[in-house]
Amino acid sequence: MAVKKWYTGLFFLLCANISFAQHKASLDDYLQQGLTNSPLLKDYQNQVQSSYVDSARVRAVYKPQVTGTSLNSYAPVIRGWGYDQAISNGQQVSALVGVNKAIVGPKNLRNQFETIHLQRLGIENAAKISEQDLKRSITAQYITTYGDWQQLSFLTETIAMLQREQLLLKTLTERNVYRQTDYLTFLVTLQQQELAVKQANIQFQSNYATLNYLCGITDTGTVALQEPPVTLATLPSEEHSVFFQQYMLDSLKLVNQRATLDFSYKPRLNVIADAGYNSSLADLPYKNFGTSIGLGLVVPIYDGKQRKLLRNKIAIAEDTRAHYRSFFLKQFNQQIAQLIQQLKATQELISDINTQIRYSDGLIQANRKLLVTGDARIADWVIAINNYLSARNLLTQNTVARWQIINQINYWNR
């Protein structure tokens, strides 16, 4: 009776430890939390917003730049000692408002806007890839945690079933239908399952905490998990994939760099003007209000062939980009082919395991009927139970493995 109470108490204690709220959390719930709480994705969003500020600054730079300056000086000559007044004018007072505007062609301006636009597209594409990375990590952890939950639930149900059978076996043993050693063999099996439940509960709690950690959730409680809706997605074509988009953007950036280099060697024209008061106070200072206007021109003539060298450097970068893209495409195709092969083999194995489970369950039920009449050997029944448990454990492992493979394939579907 003491043994029975100990087992029953442990069972209810374990059930209490894995009790959950009525609400069942879904994979989408965790994905939404993870994406919302990610500081990296927030950083990318802010970088995109910052790029719009850069575009506005380009427009502002080429608007007239107005500055105010004032210069006031006095160079005394004492007893013939002092600065030459032909140079210093003795004294000077100036208060000017200057205007400076760079003259830029529309093509040059569009090229600068294109530079910022390509940078923004690169940031957005990197954000999409980071989002896929985060989704894959959260989904993988959710699948692992759900697999632990399924295993824990199954083991708990198994213990409940074994405890019901324990009462029958104890009664039959007391009637000398079975030997005491057979009954003890069954108790050992029951105790092993009790320990397995405790270990499974610890593993579930650990993986659940990791899931919350990945999503930025600080809650230490647990809720039941819904089955992950993991289905195989259709992969996009190469030109529409964010993973290949980066190589396209890199190519456009190199073209943009060539254009920027060419514009840097074109003549540059500035219009300058000022107006205000500028006087040495030497003669009619009240008439020294005025204005001036001028043009500044810079024409590159010779730079030691730097332009040609820089163009060669850009060509080398383009060759490097092309090789990286080609290698990535080969790896991508090989990885997808391997994952599809693994998925097919896993699905076939799951089908075989389900067949074994049906046979094992049928054998358990047949032995149970014989057990009631005393015509079954407890050792054979225990072996049947262990075979059934092993098959169910193998089914859980391969179901989780199948979902993980699909998650790996779906990672490339954006």
Would you say residue 165 has pLDDT above 60? yes
Pick the closest to residue 30 from 140, 147, 150, 149 (CA basis): 140
pLDDT above 50: residue 40: yes
What are the residues whose beta carbons fall under 8 Å from the beta carbon of 345, sequence distance 6 or more? none
Torsion sign across C-alpha atoms 389, 394, 395, 396: positive
Place of tokens 């493995």: 401
The C-alpha atoms of residue 201 and residue 155 are separated, in whole angstroms, by 10
Question: 4: phi > 0 → left, psi -120 to 50 → alpha, else beta; which?
Answer: alpha
List the beta bridge partners of residue 67: 98
Q: Give residue 23's pLDDT band: very low, low, confident or very high (50, 70, 90).
A: low
For the chain, percent helix, then strand, then coil, each to nearest 5? 70, 10, 20
> If you average pLDDT over residues 99-112, what whole number do you get?
89
List, for residues 283-338, the tens digit of each pLDDT value.
787 888 889 899 888 898 888 899 999 999 999 999 999 999 999 999 999 999 99
268 touches 297 (CB < 8 A)? yes
Among candidate residues 251, 294, 296, the one with its CA nearest the CA of residue 274: 294
Please answer whether residues 142 and 228 qualify as being in contact, where contact means their C-beta atoms are separated by less than 8 angstroms. yes
CA distance 324 to 327: 5
CATH of the domain spanning 2-62+105-265+303-410? 1.20.1600.10
Tokens of 86: 């032909």
The architecture in CATH of the region 64-103+266-299 reads Single Sheet (2.20)
At residue 126, the pLDDT reads 94
Which residue intervals of the chain bear CATH 2.20.200?
A: 64-103+266-299
Identify the helix (H) or strand (E) that includes residue 101: strand 91-103
Q: Which residues, in sequence order, are CB contacts of 276 under 8 Å at separation 6+?
A: 94, 95, 96, 97, 289, 290, 291
Residues of the chain with CATH 1.20.1600.10: 2-62+105-265+303-410
Q: What is the mean pLDDT of residues 93-98?
A: 88
pLDDT surpasses 60 at 235: yes
Which of the residue ranges 1-15, 97-111, 267-281 would you say has the lowest mean pLDDT?
A: 1-15
DSSP 280: -
Sign of the C-alpha dihedral computed for residues 376, 378, 382 and 387 taken in this order: negative
Residue 21's pLDDT is: 42
Higher-confidence position of 84 and 249: 249
Longest dimension (CA), the chain: 138
**CA distance linking residue 178 with residue 16, whole number of Å:** 34
Cα 10-16-20 angle, rounded to 5 deg: 150
Are residues 253 and 63 in contact, defined by beta-carbon separation less than 8 angstroms?
A: no
